[in-house]
Structure 1
């Protein structure tokens, strides 16, 4: 069975992972390493979330902003055994701002995170069935946080700016394939990356670096042919966000030991779908996904949702032997939660996100 690329891969950004699953945005996809020959890919995604809560009978307004994700990847095949890839993506991000409303619980609170990562990978095939892959990942991260509103008491008005810092991590994994039935099972581990972010806090005190660790993660992905021109695919992704602690020097002096500016639970995401090739030019896919709720609906105001469910549709057009264009759309229902601090709480319910994506692939 001739292998074909699933159209849903055009949707490079999770529908709204920035609030539904920690800070994930790209899921650190390395799928290009499993392609054939030399290939270049460029992807663009845009997500429009709506997340608003009920603050004492008054709407908070939408606390999240639309965001874009751009990524690119290049694969080079040296021979039948060795191939290499270079990937640029935006692995983590957040765009959250509570509209400023006098007397509100969190009005004026803000959490902005930006990142970019460069991954160099190599893959070695022992035979047609077994292979290993791994490489180095360089990541840059910066952020700013403002705590504002009655829910923060004496900390209301606190602001911290975290300057950019770059650091290295690694990627390692393996795969089993059976090409005659388009079967592939791949397991990939991405290490945690520790950043020392130059930090300026407006509550006084000396400027100092803040150690922040982005999560280690494990991705299990599979696909297999089930009928002529029909493929079933799926994935499980686990990210260990409980080790992502943000505790700047001045903030630490105002709060109990162990308190973090962000409280992010570990996340697990599941996806399953089916792809179908209709003819030599067109193929399509549909997938559903689920992100496990943490069980406790009390969450940080900087991440006021808990879990998610989504459905995505995709289509791919093979324009020529070298050029293909994929597009996808995703609707996500974001789980209800209560944004809570010691002095206040705001329930968030019935929120969602709409995302679209496009990817251009060129073989050379």
Structure 2
């Protein structure tokens, strides 16, 4: 096994992805597009967050209990060459999601609140290689979203909302540079925002009403790199920027009963960083380790997403046999401390500290 082969097998992100910024989950990876020959993969991850906070004394000082549910993360991809220069890939992922469920009976002011957001995307990509080691790639992404939420602590009374599944279309565009002799690849990829017009059903002090809520999942940029640094040793990493400051979910009645607040919104964009090293141990085994970082931005977080930044450590092992490779990985995420508010950001309502998540995953790839 050469360092070039390690460059193909050591990247573990899609095997156990867990993103903290906003409701980011998959990282929208397109790594399958760079595999050699005809290739197919399937990945399954299980993420178990443990997120709890304590209300300020003025709201009783009660603990929230664990308000995040475990979830599964699925992914799949197929890639093939059309000729020596042109190839294509079809990638399925779950780019965004939320599973929030505050337990009842705790005395916490947000007890009984819940939020669920489910997103699926299929991306069709094509890649063209030039003679100077550069290539360009791009394509279309079809995405569906569906969401529900319940907020019982609004002063005007309990609020419930459900949004029916809606499909939107966006695009992907990028460029890459490769040096196969040293396993070098640098890829820059832009993911467009995707607009959704969601049929929304609300129940609140205003009664039961239906309307259209416009939701736009954010644009993002991924910069991924890898390079051989010694025989059988690979350095890899990436930077991801997501424009979360433009993301907002504000159903019509919620804006009225909440006094103009958004159901979900974020004040800042998010940069995510990762850096790792992969090492070949034998003809069949290689291992990798990587660290991840997201800066804490401060300010108040949403009660439906009380996190701010993160640090993570991931370990992976890759078994290669003939045309098959199996990647298994585990990632520990230290979730950043956050404060929430219920009065539009005037004062703190709760403090979330010392929270974490554990993600485990497996990815099976086959070249044929």
SS in 1 for 2:265: coil
> Pick from 288, 293, 296: which aligns with 2:291?
288
> Pick from 262, 268, 271: which aligns with 2:271?
268
TM-score normalised to structure 1 length? 0.94
In structure 1, how many angstroms separate the alpha carbons of the residues matched to 2:44 and 2:197? 30
Structure 2 gap segments, 5+ residues each: none
Q: Tell me, yes or no, if the aligned pair for 2:65 and 2:106 is still in contact at 8 Å.
A: no
Superposition deviation, residue 240 in structure 1: 0.6
In structure 2, how many angstroms separate the alpha carbons of the residues matched to 1:253 and 1:326? 49
Q: Alpha carbon RMSD of aligned pairs, Å?
A: 1.5
Q: Deviations over 1:116-165 (max 9, x none)?
A: 1000000000125100000000000000111123xx322x4101101100
Q: Does 1:164 align with 2:159?
A: no
Partner of 2:215: 212
Superposition deviation, residue 305 in structure 1: 1.0
Partner of 1:242: 245
Q: Deviations over 1:17-71 (max 9, x none)?
A: 2xx2101111011000011100000000000110011134432110000000111
Partner of 1:359: 363
Q: Tell me, yes or no, if the aligned pair for 2:14 and 2:75 is still in contact at 8 Å.
A: no
Partner of 1:299: 301
Q: Tell me, yes or no, if the aligned pair for 2:289 and 2:314 is still in contact at 8 Å.
A: yes
Q: Does 1:225 align with 2:228?
A: yes
Structure 1 gap segments, 5+ residues each: none
Partner of 1:49: 49
Q: Tell me, yes or no, if the aligned pair for 1:215 and 1:243 is still in contact at 8 Å.
A: yes
Q: Give the direction of change, closer, same or farther, for the CA distance of 1:13–1:169 in structure 2 (3 Å limit).
A: farther
Q: Tell me, yes or no, if the aligned pair for 2:100 and 2:115 is still in contact at 8 Å.
A: yes
Q: Tell me, yes or no, if the aligned pair for 2:15 and 2:327 is still in contact at 8 Å.
A: no
Q: Tell me, yes or no, if the aligned pair for 1:63 and 1:97 is still in contact at 8 Å.
A: yes
Superposition deviation, residue 101 in structure 1: 2.8
Q: Does 1:323 align with 2:324?
A: yes
Q: Does 1:120 align with 2:121?
A: no
Farther off after superposition, 103-112 or 222-231:
103-112
In structure 2, how many angstroms separate the alpha carbons of the residues matched to 1:10 and 1:289? 10
Farther off after superposition, 340-349 or 39-48:
340-349
Partner of 1:72: 76
Partner of 2:339: 338
In structure 2, how many angstroms separate the alpha carbons of the residues matched to 1:295 and 1:10? 27
The size of the alignment, in residue pairs, is: 355
Q: Deviations over 1:168-188 (max 9, x none)?
A: 000000001111111111000
